Structure 1
């Protein structure tokens, strides 16, 4: 097992790791840090919550120099993810003495562009973190000098592609030197991303960090039916029956998020909201308040499912199964991070059986539970019930007798003989049914013909 001390890093980085209580590298960090330190371009693929952020931040800070120019650019597809990375970067930067502290530029949409321009007029940052659109905008204005950068990080590349931000990232990459070190990190590497990777990556090191499950094995997944009960009521009791350090409740729409948050507030819970109707500045203030533990409960849409790392989330509740199943993985991945235990509870109605089965097909294993009299009790395994239902094909009395007889006289091949007999019986029934249908059809035609002649 590797240790951070194996990497011979700057003392300030070790001080930051100690302050964050990082004892040993995660698998993705163990694989990627040595390669990145060598200056190689990399493509890293691993599940959410695996420690990708520090896999690239640690070697980046090791290589940063005192030169007052842009050296590294980190692009993200969302403001929240950019804020998370900036926060992690500042935790390391703050360990340097003031005169040697790396300057970090944070540029995302919805923030004060004029202020950012004034700051850039005073000097260039060494580390740029932000969304592709704002970074490119400041570059086109002639304020942000990207051409000096030697390293480009594209975080959450699949989300960058899905969000339509790849053309902006392409423009940023095109403005950088040919000997660029590029790092691409993502939970998945879609086929549509391949042309971009081939364009800029020359013989990269590709690391796919395997996992036994699609989510961390530290997460307990519970499935709770809500037949005949109010979801609002069930969620309230699930939030208050224990004492979660931090609980995230995901809804499928912003309207539902508002409705649920209002209900919880009416029941005297202090709740934060994160969704598309929250203005960027207010969202930033809300995220800061959450980071400072001013809120214990957060209601959010899938806007928060990717790229937001809220420390200490030990409970995630799905108000419903998301329309895009991939988001289920990212929702649940907000807990159980960095080998910490977490619980994810998914609520479902009887008409969502197919959606639940689709989630299970992803490799998710649920523990069925029922909410009864203020506690969660073991429920019936849905899969076992479906299998039992499938096995209730009715046989004729003669066939049942044959099966019983064969079971009494167990001989080699008896199961095969039973199956063959059942199949033969089914074929016979089908022929009889076909003949009856033909006979009925002929009778109907004859009747219609007779009626025509009478007219």
Structure 2
């Protein structure tokens, strides 16, 4: 069984891992750590939560020269929250080094002038931050990042989705041609490929496919609106689930506002995450969520993708996303680190085809319905079709009788129809039996 000692990491790195109770490398770490250690440029594709962060941080620290006080590594992340998480993970390792290793984090919404003043006195060895702020500091000639020999683009697909690829492109252009470039992403969209070809020559591509698109610890429940008021349905679901922390997704900022406002008026503690929040509001909201001041969070896909919120027990898809990939990202916010989770998807009449497409990905839905404020097993949405497929064929006379009885709607008509159908079936069986006997007699006479 492989352990981190097999990679011949420096003692202080092993101590840092032991402190965090990391004993065995994940599959992506087993594949990528030796490659990054050897100085190879790598494209690593694996699902969120697979251990990508330490797959590049561990070999980066192992190759770092503490005596060289110039910038050696630049790491970008598409959001302030993800950049902060990377910074904290790097600091946990750096703090165990016998020699001082300077790791700095640069994100939007922070005091730029203060950062510039500090950079004029001292350059960090590892730079972590959002593309916009890092590029701004480079353009201000405060950050001397051109000395870096390793450039990491974390969450590349999200970087592109959130519109930061142009900034990453400009940062990459400031490095030498001998640069080691590491790109990590949950998916590699086709639109990302021109950027990769521009800066990466013969990279090693490692794609680690998950065992299933959805973690087996997640239950997927399916709820039909049945034409009911959707906001009220969302409220009833939110109340009935009694979550530790529930993430509620909508497709647009307008719907986020509508849902959040409605739930708030019903007395629920609701946080709202959208692109309209200022950096200060966003930071305050995230701090409140961390301190469990809210039980429900309403967000759009792009606003939530750059945020890693711990403890999400439930996810509600208030509407189906246009992209199946967004559905997988949404549901994947719960059931993490081996914990169980529940994802509830609301669909409207006429959207059965979209649900069927998700099922083709291997997602299994359990139909549910609300009854007395509780979620109970629902009906198979295809039950009518299946019933039609197995329904017995009636004689024309019986069809006429059924139609006639349905129109009359007299008491007990359902029982009479059932009895008549049974009688008709028995008569058919008798006729078939008689015909069979007659046929047998003819054969015997011959």
Q: Residue 203 in 1 paired to residue 202 in 2?
A: yes
Offset at 1:371?
Answer: 1.7
Question: 1 CA distance for matches of 2:269 and 2:257?
Answer: 14
Offset at 1:228?
Answer: 4.6
Q: Which residue of 2 aligns with 1:278?
A: 277
Q: Residue 36 in 1 paired to residue 33 in 2?
A: no
Q: Which residue of 2 aligns with 1:414?
A: none
Q: Which residue of 1 aligns with 2:52?
A: 52
Q: Which residue of 2 aligns with 1:442?
A: none
Offset at 1:188?
Answer: 1.6
Question: 1 CA distance for matches of 2:84 and 2:163?
Answer: 20
Q: What is the CA deviation profile of residues 77-118 of structure 1, one whole-angstrom value per residue up to 9, with x for unaligned ones?
A: 333332332233333334457xx4532222233433222212
Q: What is the CA deviation profile of residues 8-37 of structure 1, one whole-angstrom value per residue up to 9, with x for unaligned ones?
A: 334443444345443432222222222222
Offset at 1:323?
Answer: 2.6
Q: List alignment gaps of at least 5 residues for structure 2.
A: 397-427, 433-446
CA contact (8 A) 1:12 1:95 kept: yes
CA contact (8 A) 2:367 2:380 kept: yes
**Cα pair distance change 1:24/1:108, threshold 3 Å:** same
Question: 2 CA distance for matches of 1:79 and 1:63?
Answer: 26
Question: 1 CA distance for matches of 2:199 and 2:298?
Answer: 39
TM-score normalised by the chain length of structure 1: 0.78
CA contact (8 A) 1:29 1:55 kept: yes
Name the count of aligned residue pairs.
Answer: 399
**Cα pair distance change 1:60/1:322, threshold 3 Å:** same
Q: Residue 219 in 1 paired to residue 218 in 2?
A: yes
SS in structure 1 at match of 2:346: strand
SS in structure 2 at match of 1:382: coil
**Cα pair distance change 1:235/1:30, threshold 3 Å:** farther
**Cα pair distance change 1:388/1:59, threshold 3 Å:** farther
Q: Which residue of 2 aligns with 1:143?
A: 142
Q: Which residue of 2 aligns with 1:127?
A: 126
Offset at 1:249?
Answer: 1.3
Q: What is the CA deviation profile of residues 234-269 of structure 1, one whole-angstrom value per residue up to 9, with x for unaligned ones?
A: 434433445533221112222222232233333443
Question: 2 CA distance for matches of 1:193 and 1:348?
Answer: 32
Q: Which residue of 2 aligns with 1:450?
A: none
Farther-moved stretch of structure 1 (380-389 vs 110-119)? 380-389
Question: 2 CA distance for matches of 1:209 and 1:114?
Answer: 42
**Cα pair distance change 1:351/1:142, threshold 3 Å:** same
**Cα pair distance change 1:57/1:296, threshold 3 Å:** farther
Question: 2 CA distance for matches of 1:232 and 1:151?
Answer: 49
SS in structure 1 at match of 2:115: helix
Q: What is the CA deviation profile of residues 406-453 of structure 1, one whole-angstrom value per residue up to 9, with x for unaligned ones?
A: xx9xxxxxxxxxxxxxxxxxxxxxxxxxxxxxxxxxxxxxxxxxxxxx
Q: What is the CA deviation profile of residues 357-412 of structure 1, one whole-angstrom value per residue up to 9, with x for unaligned ones?
A: 33333332211111211222222233555555678899998xxxxxx99xx9xxxx
- The CA RMSD over aligned residues, in Å, is 3.0
Q: Which residue of 2 aligns with 1:360?
A: 359
**Cα pair distance change 1:121/1:368, threshold 3 Å:** same
Offset at 1:231?
Answer: 3.5
**Cα pair distance change 1:177/1:387, threshold 3 Å:** farther
**Cα pair distance change 1:320/1:17, threshold 3 Å:** farther
CA contact (8 A) 1:305 1:334 kept: no
Q: List alignment gaps of at least 5 residues for structure 1.
A: 398-403, 409-455
